[in-house]
Structure 1
Amino acid sequence: MRVCLDRAVVRGSLGVSLLALACAQPAFAQSETTDESDIVVTGTSATSATKTDTPILRIPQAIEVVTVEEMQDRGALNIREALKYTAGVYNGGDDSRGDFNNIRGFESVLYVDGLKRNYGFVYMPRPEIATLERVEVLVGPASVLYGAGSSGGITNMQTKRPQFDFGGSASVSYGTFDRKEATVDVTGPLSDTLAARFVGVVRDSDSRMDFTRNDRVVAQGGLTWRPGEQTNIDLIGIYQEDHNPPNYNVMPLVGSLLALPGQRIRNSSFFGEPDINRGDKEYTAVSLLATHEFSDAFSLRSSTRYTWANTKQAEYYLATYLSPGGPLDPFLPGTTAVPRNLFAINIKYRTFNTDNGVAFKFETGPASHQLLAGVDYSYFKQVSGQAFVENAGAIDVYNPVYGTAPAPVFNFFNTQILKQTGFYLQDQIDFGQVASLVLGIRHDSVSKVDVGAPVEKTKKTTKRAGLTINATSTLAPYISYSESFLPISGLNQFGSAYQPLFGKQVEVGVKWQPTRATMLRVSLYDLKEDNALRTDPSNPLNSIQTGSVKAKGVEFQANYNVADDFSLVAAFAYGTVRLSGQDRQRDDTPKYLASIFGTKTVELGNDLSMRIGGGVRYTGKLNSDPFGGAFVVETPSYTLADAMVALDYKAWTLQFNAINLFDEVYYPGCSAFGSCANGEPRTVQGTLTYKF
C-alpha cells in the first residue's frame, strides 16, 4: 500500500531538469479527408519528446497527448483523471496527496513545461487542470531527455500561454460533495509585441470522506513578449493554496472486500481526528521560458523556474498490520476497534531549475542533422519537521469516537539539499523520406546532503537511440533503446541509504496516421530496472532493495477527433511486471488495462447543439503476496463507466459529467497486511461556461 511505502522511503527525491531537444522534423504528406479547420489536434504532435512541435508519427518512442478539450469532455478534475484513458497508465484510487500515475508498472515523474515539479513523494498541491493546455505522457525511460527520471516515463504538463488574440472563458460548477467552483481564463494583447493571460480558480468543497475539505485558490498570470518572429519570451507566475487533508480511505479487509452481510464499513467513514488531520499547502512558482533563432541553422532554448512551497499535514490512519489477530481479525480483543498510526509533517521546499541548449543544423551528403548541446541544473532543498507514532491508539471503525487522541509532537528534523548538473549531446539525423535516426548521450552528476550526514555523490551516463522508418507518408514503424537513472533521496526506516535505480528498455512499434484527425499506435516493450524497491515483508512501513524488476508488454492506442462532430479514444495494455526471484505478477500491478471513450455532437438547430459521450474503463485483478504464498489477497477486476452530456448555445455551454456512473463498489487495491483502498463513489458535476 502507498501509505506504507511513502512515509518510510522518501522525504523528497532526486531529479533533474529537462534536456531541451530543439529538433526540427521534416514535413510529411498525409491523405486529407477532413477540412483542416475542423481538426482538434489530439495526439498528432508533442513537445515532450523533442521540445519542439514534433509530429508524433516521427518520434521513435511511445508518447500520448491529452488536450484540455479532452480533459473537459471526460470531466477530469486532476491529472490522474486526465490520463485514465491512456494506454499503459494505471492510477488506482484517488489520493489527495498527489497524482500517482504508474506507467508500464513504474511510477511516473511529474514535469511542468519541461522542468521537474515533484522530487519524489513531496507534499505539494496537485496541479490544477484549468492552468494547463495539455498533458503529454512520454512512455519509457527518458533520462537522455530529462536526466534523473522514472523507468516508466514522465508526465509533462504544458501551461497555458498568453495569446495575441483576445478571448477567454468563465465558468461556475456544482457537484457531488457540495463541490462549488468558479474559474476564469482571459488572454489578449497589451501591444503589438506583448500579450497577457490570467487564470483564476476558487473552490469550496467537501470530499468523499467525512470531516475532510477539498478547498482551493489558484491565480496564474503570464506575459509573452514577442519583439520579432525570431524571439519569444514567456514569464509565468502561479500561486496556489489548498486545504485538503488526505482523503484516501484504508479499511480492514473484513470491513470491505471480505465483509460479511451487514459488516461492510461506510465508504465515507473517517478514521482520523477532525481537529488534527490537516493538509494546508501553499505553492508559488515563477518561470521564464525563452526561445531565439539566430539564423535558420542556429537556435537557443532556455527554461528556468524558481519554486517556493510550504505544507502542514497531519493524519491519524488505520494500521491493520498491528492487529494481534492478523489480517483477517484486525480488531482489538472483544471490540471492533482497529489500531492507528499518527504521521505529521511541516515542510518547506525551495527549488531552482534551469535548462539551456543550443541547436545547430547542417548537412552531410544526403543526411540532414540537427545537433543539440546543452546543460541543465537543478537545486532542491527541503526543511522539515516530522512526527510519527506507531500504534497511536485505536478507533472503532463502526462507531468512531473522536477527540481523545493527542496532537503530534515533532521529533524528527531534517534539512536535505539535492543538486544535479547534466550535460547532454544529441544528433537527430533525417534521411528524407526514408528514415530518421536519433542518437543521444548524457552525463549527470548528483549530490545529496542530509545535514549531519556525509555527502552522497552519484554520477551516471545514459544513452538513447531510435530509428523511425518512413514506410509511407502515413505509416512509420520504429525501434528504440533508452535508459533511465533515478537516485532515491531519503533513508529507509533504519537509517540506511538506497542505491539509485537504473532502467533500460527496448521498444518496437508502429504508428499510423491516415488523416490529421487519426492516430493509432501499437508498441511492444521489454524493460528492466535494477535495484528495485519492494515492500519489506516483515514491516509494511519499510522498503528494501533486492534484485530487479522486469516488465514486458504490448500497448494499443487509437485517437480520432474532429471538432463539432465525433471523437473516440481507445486503449489496451497487457504487461507482465515481475520482481527477480518471483514467477508472478508484482503486487498491486494489473496485467490488463482497457478503455474506450467517445463523444458525438448533434446539431439541434437555431445555434443549439448537443454533445453526448461516455466511456468504459476496465482494470484487471491485482494480487498482494508479500509473504511468499503464506497469505495471498486477490483484488477483483472492475469495470467503471463515465458519461457526459452538454448543450452548446452560441457562447454558452451547460455540461454534466458523471464518473463511475453506476456507482460501482470496487477496490483499487487490497493488501495482505489486512487492508483495502476504497474506490471512489459516483460523482456528478454540472458546469456552466461562457466563452468570449
Structure 2
Amino acid sequence: MSRDLGAVMTVTAQPMGRRILLGGVAMIVLMGAAGAAAAQVAAPAAAPQADTVGELVVTAPNYVPTTTTGSKVATSILDTPQSVTVINRDQIDVLHWTSLQQVVRYTAGVTGENFGPDARYDWLTLRGFAPVQYIDGLQAPIGSVTNVGTDLYGFQSVEILKGPSSGLYGSTPPGGIVNMTSRRPQQEASGELVAEVGNYDLKQIQGDATGPLNDSVSYRVTGLYRDSGSIIDFEKDRRGFLSSALKWDIDPATSVTLLGYYQNDDLKNNSGGFLPPSGTVLPNPNGTISRSLNLGEPGYNMFKRDQYGVGYEFRHAFNDSLSFEQNLKYFSSDTKTLSVYGAGLQTPGGSIVNRYNFPFNEKVTSFNVDNRVQANFTTGDFKQTLLVGLDYRRYVDTSEFGFAVAPPIDVFNPVYGAPVTVPTLYPYANLVQTQTGLYVQDQVRRDGFILTLGARQDWVRTDDKAGGTTANDSQMSYRIGANYVFANGVAPYVSYAKSFQPTTGVAFNGTTFAPTQGEQWEAGIKVEPSGLPQGVKTLVTLAAYNLVQRNVLTPDPDPTHPFASVQTGEVQVKGVELEGVARIHERLSLNASYSYTDSEVTKSNGPDLGMQLPMVPHHKLSGFADYTFQDGLLAGFGVGLGARYMSSSYGDAANLWQADSVILWDAVAHYNFKAWKMTLSGSNIFDKTYVAACESASNCFYGTPRSVTLSLGRSF
C-alpha cells in the first residue's frame, strides 16, 4: 500500500530455531519478572500490599484490562475466543503515549510508524493488512487511508481485534480492526490540566473535566491544542481538538449519552520521505541524505483537515434479562492537500531528484446506526447471552486530484523558491456505498465451557459514479469459537472466522469485481492467574493463526488486456503472537510482546508471487518495565525503560526494496506530588537513524527520530 496517492500514480523467513528462541525469551522475561515480583511481595519481608501502603501516591487500577466490548457485549477477555488487545487510559497515562502509533509499540501482531513521523495519520499494519479504524464501535470516516488520525487524548481506551471481524462488523479487512472509545462522563467530579514542551519546538496544552450537573446528568469536556515543528526542515504542525459528552440517566433502566468531537489539523510545508534508496538504504558517492531533508516546496506544501463526529448511545433495560442499545453517529472528514514530493534521482548515484506536484482534496461523510437487543436466559444447564442486531451505514467519498511535474532539486544542497502552481484538478473518486447488516450471536455457557456462535448477513450497494458502475453484493459472514475457562484462570480456545471487503472497479469485460474473502483458524491460550497476592494483576495471551485472503486483484494474464485485473490472487499469513501485561502493587508495570508473522502471496499473475507482504516483519519483540516508588523519600517518583526489536521487512510487493532490522529504546521518568505530576518521556532515546520503509526507487522513509517531551499537569 502506498503512503500517498501521488506515489500510486508513479510507480526470507528466519530459521525456525530463532523463532522459537525469540518467542521463548519474551515469555521467560515476562513470566519470570511477574512471578518473581509477585513472590517477593508475598514474602513476609516484602513491601506492604496495595491496600495497606502507608503513602499510596500513584494508582492505575485498570492497567491490566479484564473485559472487552469487541463482541458488542461486555465480555471477559478470557471468555472471548479471539485474540484481542485492550489498551486503556491507565496504560496510556503511565507510559505517556500520545498517539495510536505509539500505543501499539508493545502489542503483538501489529506495527505502527510504518512511514516514520507523520502528523496526519496513524499508519498501522495488523496481521499483514491495514486495519480499519472505528470510533465508539462505528466505522470512522475513512477515505483513501484506513484511519482518520484522531488524537489519542480524546479517548479512554483502544481495542485491537485481531483477525476477521465481519461476523459482527460487516465489511472489514481480514487482519482486523482498531476501535477507539471516547472518554465518558462520570458522576464523580475530576479533571486535569497539562502543559507540554518538547524537542522540535513542541508546545501543547490539554485538559479534561468531568462531573455531575445534578443527580441524573453528568458531563465531560476534553480539549487539546498543539503547535509543533518536526525533524523535517520548515515543517509546522498545528492541531486543535475538542470533544464533549453529556449523559442523562433517565431512570435506573434507561440512559442516553450524547457524544461529539471536532478536530482541526493545519500542517504547513510538510513533505517527509519520498527519498531515493541511494543515500538512504544504499550508498551514494555524495554522502548520506539528511533525515531533515524536505523534498517539498516550502510555502506551497500544506495539509488541512477538518473532521467531526456527533451522535448518541441509548440504552434501556426492560428487565434483568432483556435490554436494547442504539449507537448512532454522523461523521465528516474534509481534507485539502498540496504536495510536491520526490520522484527519484535523475541519474543513479547522483544528487538531483525529480519532483512531482500532486494536489488532492477529499471529502468523506458517513452516517452509522447500530441497533441491538441482548437477552440473558437459561436453558436447562446452559446459560446463554443472545445478541441480535441490525445496523446501517451510508458512506460518501468524493475526491479530486491534479498532477504535474515540479522543478528538480539537489538532495545534498536544496535550493527552494522555484515557481510552483496548482495544476488543474480532475475528479478522482465519487463513491456512494450503503451497507445493511443483520447479525446474531449466541454465547452458550456451562460451567467453564463457552461456545460462541455468530453469523451476519450483509447487503452492500456500491455506486462508483466516477467509474460508472454499480455493484450489489450479498455476503454471509460467521464466527464459531469455543473456550474453557479453568478455575485457576487458564483459558484455552479455538475459533474460525470469515471476513469480506467490497472491491471497486471492473474486469476487462466490464463485470464488477466481487468482494475479497478472508478466513482464519486461530487457537490459543489466555492466562489471568487466580490466587495471586492481593494487588497483583497479570494477563498473558498466546495465539497461533492461519489467515487466507482470496479474490485478490492480480494482473490479467491476457496480453491483449493491458492494465486490466482479474480476481485470482491469494494471500496467506501465518503467525504466532505472545503478549503480556502486569501491574504489581501499584509499583511495577510490565508490558511485553513477541510476534512471528509469515506472509506470502500464494497466487498471483504479477511479480509479487511467492513474496511476503509489504511492511510485515517476520519478528517483532518488545518489552517495557516501569517502577514507581509509593512510600519513603522517593514516594511518587517512577522510571520506565523499554526496548523494541523489528526484523527486516520489504516495502514493495515485489520484495525488491528492504529495510534493515532495528532496535529502539524508550524511557520515561515521572514524579507525582499531591495533585501535581511531572513527566519526562523519550522515544528512540539513542536517536537511532534507520529507514522504516522503502516502497520503490523514489519512496524511502526514515524512521521516527528521538522525541523528548516534558509535561507538567495538575489534577483536580
Q: Distance in 2 between matches of 1:644 and 1:378?
A: 42
Cα distance in 1 for partners of 2:582, 2:463 equals 49
The alpha-carbon deviation at position 173 of structure 1 amounts to 0.3
Q: CA deviation at 1:408?
A: 2.1
Q: Which residue of 1 aligns with 2:168?
A: 145
173, 179, 201: which one aligns with 2:196: 173
For 1:67 and 1:639, the matched residues in 2 are separated by 26
The corresponding residue for 2:576 is: 554
C-alpha contact (below 8 Å) 1:369/1:430 kept by paired residues? yes
How far apart, CA to CA, are the structure 2 residues paired with 1:182 and 1:373?
43
Q: Equivalent of 1:343, from 358, 366, 371?
A: 358
The answer on 1:576 being equivalent to 2:598 is yes
* Structure 1 residue 107 corresponds to structure 2 residue 121: no
Q: CA deviation at 1:626?
A: 5.0
Residues 663 and 536 of structure 1: CA distance in aligned 2, closer, same or farther (over 3 Å): farther
Instruction: Return the letter of the residue paired with 1:438.
Output: T
Three-state SS of the structure 2 residue aligned to 1:214 is strand
Structure 1 pair 604–364 and aligned structure 2 pair: CA distance change class (3 A)? closer
Residues 143 and 626 (structure 1 numbering): CA distance in 2 closer, same or farther, change over 3 Å?
closer
Q: Partner of 2:296: helix, strand, or coil? A: coil
| Aligned: 1:520 with 2:535 | no
Residue 561 to residue 118, structure 1, CA distance change in 2 (3 Å)? farther
* Over 4 Å off, 4+ runs: 4-9, 31-39, 122-125, 489-499, 533-538, 541-546, 624-628
2:706 to 669, 682, 687: 682
563 and 209 in structure 1: CA distance in 2 versus 1, 3 angstrom threshold: farther
Superimposed CA distance per residue, residues 131-150 of structure 1 (whole angstroms, 9 cap, x where no aligned partner): 11010111110001111111
Change (3 A) 1:494 1:678: farther
Identity %, equivalent residues:
31
Matched, 1:419 2:429: no
CA contact (8 A) 2:143 2:397 kept: no
2:640 aligned partner, one-letter code: G
Q: What secondary structure, in the 3-state scheme, does the structure 2 residue paired with 1:51 have?
A: coil
Are 2:86 and 1:65 aligned? yes
Query: For the residues of structure 2 that align with 1:196 and 1:395, how far apart are their CA atoms?
Result: 53
Q: Distance in 2 between matches of 1:641 and 1:371?
A: 46
Per the alignment, do residues 495 and 41 of structure 1 end up closer, same or farther by CA in structure 2, a change over 3 Å counting? Answer: farther
Q: State the SS of the aligned residue for 1:531.
A: strand
The structure 2 residue matched to 1:600, chosen from 627, 647, 654, is: 627
Distance 1:176 1:496 in 2: 54
Equivalent residue in structure 2 for 1:401, among 403, 415, 422: 415
Q: For the aligned residues, what is the CA RMSD?
A: 2.9
Aligned to 2:154: 131
* Native 8 Å contact 2:140 2:148 kept in 1: no
Question: Which residue identity does 1:176 align to in structure 2?
Answer: N
- Mapped pair 1:40 → 2:64: no
Output aligned runs, 1:184-583, within 5 Å. 184-244=207-267, 246-260=270-284, 263-320=287-344, 325=347, 329=348, 331=350, 336-389=351-404, 391-413=405-427, 414-431=429-446, 433-451=447-465, 453-489=468-504, 499-515=514-530, 517-532=537-552, 546-562=568-584, 564-581=586-603, 582-583=609-610
Cα distance in structure 2, aligned partners of 1:625 and 1:276: 29
Q: Which runs of 5+ in 2 are unaligned?
A: 10-38, 43-48, 53-58, 531-535, 604-608
> Whose RCO is larger (CA < 8 A, sep 6+)?
1
Helix, strand or coil: the match of 2:101? helix
Secondary structure (helix, strand or coil) at the match of 2:415 reads coil
CA distance in 1: counterparts of 2:483 and 2:420, whole angstroms: 61
Aligned to 1:79: 100
Change (3 A) 1:293 1:202: same
Query: Shift in Å at residue 591 of structure 1?
Result: 0.5
Q: 1:357 to 1:552 in 2, by over 3 A?
A: same
1:627 Cα shift? 5.2
Question: Which letter maps to 1:106?
Answer: F
SS in 2 for 1:673: coil
Which of residues 621, 625, 629 is equivalent to 2:648?
621
Q: Which residue of 2 aligns with 1:642?
A: 666
Q: Contact 1:257/1:667 (CA < 8 Å) preserved in 2? A: yes
Q: Which moved more, 1:179-188 or 1:453-462?
A: 453-462
Aligned mates of 1:264, 1:345 — CA distance in 2 = 31
Q: Is contact 1:124–1:281 with CA below 8 Å preserved after alignment?
A: no
On the 8 A contact 1:125/1:242 being kept in 2, the answer is no
Query: 1:655: which partner in 2?
Result: 679
Name the CA distance, whole Å, in 2 between partners of 1:190 and 1:55: 32
Measure the CA separation in 1 of the matches of 2:388 and 2:376: 12
1:2 equivalent in structure 2 = 2
Q: Which residue in the other structure is 2:618 paired with?
A: 591
Contact 1:535–1:626, Cα closer than 8 Å, also in 2: no
AA in 1 matched with 2:339: E
1:216-272 Cα offsets, whole Å, 9 max, x none, are: 111111101112222221101111111125553121111111134761111111011
Compared CA separation, residues 441 and 114, structure 1 to 2 (3 A): same
Aligned equivalents of 1:379, 1:187: Cα separation in 2: 33
Q: For each residue in 1:453-502, what CA deviation from the matched residue of structure 2 results, as whole angstroms up to 9, or x when unmatched?
A: 13222111101000011233401100000111111457899999654221
Distance 1:388 1:330 in 2: 27
Indicate the SS of the match to 1:107. coil
| AA in 2 matched with 1:144 | G
For 2:302, the aligned partner's letter is R
Structure 1 residues 520 and 627: CA distance shift in structure 2, 3 A = closer
Q: Structure 1 residues 301 and 43 mapped into 2: Cα distance closer, same or farther (>3 Å)?
A: farther
By how many angstroms is 1:419 displaced? 0.9
Q: Say whether the 8 Å CA contact 1:289–1:302 is kept in structure 2.
A: yes
Alpha carbons of structure 1 residues 43 and 489: separation in structure 2 relative to 1, 3 Å: farther
Aligned length: 655
Q: Could you list the per-position Cα deviations for residues 14-42 of structure 1 after superposition, in whole angstroms to 9, with x for gaps in the alignment? A: xxxxxxxxxxxxxxxxx998668966323
Q: Following TM superposition, by how much is the alpha carbon of 1:393 offset from its aligned partner in structure 2, in angstroms?
A: 3.4
Structure 2 distance, partners of 1:544, 1:591, is 29
2:141–2:331 contact (8 Å) kept in structure 1: no
1:634-677 residue CA offsets vs partner (Å, 9 max, x unmatched): 32100000000011111101100010000001111123535421
Aligned partners of 1:665 and 1:125: how far apart in 2? 28
Is the 1:621–1:635 Cα contact (8 Å) retained in structure 2? yes
How far off is 1:587 after superposition? 3.4
